[in-house]
A = this chain, B = another copy of it.
Amino acid sequence: MQKRATIEDVARIAGVSTATVSRAIHTPDVVSDSTRKAVNGAIDETGFTLNQAARNLRQQRANAIMVLVPDIGNTFFSEILAGIERVASSAGQTILIGHTAKDPLREEKYLNSLINGQADGALLLNGHLPSSFVHRIKGTSQKPLPIVSVSEALEDQIVPHVGTDNARAAETATTYLLEKGHRHILHLRGPLDNILTHQRMAGFQNAMEKAGQIVSPASYIAGDFSIESGIAAADQLLAATEHPDAVFCANDEMAIGLMSQLAAHGVKVPQHISVIGFDDIAFAATASPGLTTIAQPRSAFGERSMHILLDLIQQGGVATRTEEILGFHLIERASVETRGRD
């Protein structure tokens, strides 16, 4: 139970100064061959590992990235996370996870890691930036903070963003239903406090109006992106006197919940009602029927955003207010059927 070896122990054994040991480790080419060997020998002998806390303190940098996720348990985010992890890891950065549960207090708490030296940058998957940080970024007095938003954009875009064109994607999905001959189309929307909800609603409305269809409050069913809310939407549909031709769901979870509950009550998809989703999660393909949906490049979201963040950190956090829009595409499966005109 001896104390951990420090760089000083290594230096003593190798017969050099601590500075040389540090150099032998980080910039091996500036020390002589013999010294490098001596140092490596001493490192092996002592089992030395660099104390990261000391290093972080001295370098004023943590080599860590804080990732704010509204819900770790959600597949959608975890796939973005996987992309983030991939590039973070190859850049020697550790990722810290902050599960915010949409709570501004928790968001603030985790973002403080940027200020207190626990993290060098932050990735926002939660579509929200606490107001104290909005001020901090807008006030030019302070050093700009390296923050990038992913998938869910902030209301006023004050940090770089990586995502897709949700309105256009929703328009594409809706237009697809229209082209398949559907007219009475409902949109199962997400929660209103989410920006994606509004973008997708706008896309839906656009497509409908372009096709000469009227959109009213009755065109929307409230949801919250969960399977359960998809089930609830189905119950609502089942209770109504008139059925729509098709439902465009703001995400796959809801679409799957909806289809499952419709099936349980004998309503057939797509024969009675066509359904289209959004996200293309893994279970969209195995749903019955296979769910037609909009695919977004989630790993690419993670990878690109992490790259941008790394650049930002390198440059000292100069916020370029970039927006990187990645493509989406519609995946045809079996949940939408062609319907003869009216």
For A, the interface residue count at a CB cutoff of 8 angstroms equals: 55
Q: Identify which of residues 48-69 in chain A touch chain B, using a CB-to-CB cut-off of 8 Å.
A: 49-54, 56-57, 60, 62, 64
**A18-26, A77-85, A146-154, A271-279: which lies at the B interface?**
A77-85
What distance in Å separates the Cβ of A88 from its nearest Cβ neighbour in chain B?
Answer: 9
Contacts of A74 in B (CB 8 A): 78
B116/A50 in contact, CB under 8 A:
yes
Chain B residues contacting A95 (CB-CB under 8 Å) are: 96-97
Closest chain B residue, CB of each to CB of A1: B143
Q: Does A142 contact B (CB under 8 A)?
A: yes
Interface flag for A112 (CB, 8 Å): yes
Question: Residue among A73, A113, A287 with the most chain B CB within 10 A?
Answer: A73
Q: Is A4 in the interface zone, CB < 8 Å from B?
A: yes
B97 touching A97, Cβ below 8 Å: yes
The CA-CA distance from A287 to B288 in the complex, in Å, is 7
Min C-beta distance of A114 to chain B, whole Å = 10
Interface stretch of the complex, out of A190-198, A209-217, A256-264, A323-331: A256-264
**Contact assessment for A73 and B62 in the assembled complex, using a CB-CB cutoff below 8 Å:** no
The CA-CA distance from A21 to B79 in the complex, in Å, is 44
Which residue of B52, B73, B86, B115 contacts A118 across the interface (Cβ within 8 Å)?
B52
What is the 8 Å Cβ interface bit string for chain A, positions 283-314, against chain B (1 contact, 0 not)? 10111101000000000000000000000000
A117 near B: Cβ within 8 Å? yes
Question: Number of copies of this chain in the oligomer?
Answer: 2
A residues with a Cβ closer than 8 A to B are 1-2, 4, 49-54, 56-57, 60, 62, 64, 71-75, 78-79, 81-82, 85-86, 89, 94-99, 106, 112-113, 115-118, 141-143, 227, 256-257, 259-260, 263, 282-283, 285-288, 290
B78 touches A116 (CB 8 A): no
Q: Which of B1, B4, B57, B81 contacts A73 (CB 8 A)?
A: B81
Residues of chain B with a CB closer than 8 A to A79's CB:
73
User: With A53-B62, A96-B96 given, is the CB distance from A286 to B115 under 8 Å?
Assistant: no
B contact residues around A96 at 8 Å (CB):
64, 94-97
Measured CB to CB, the nearest residue on chain B to A281 is B283
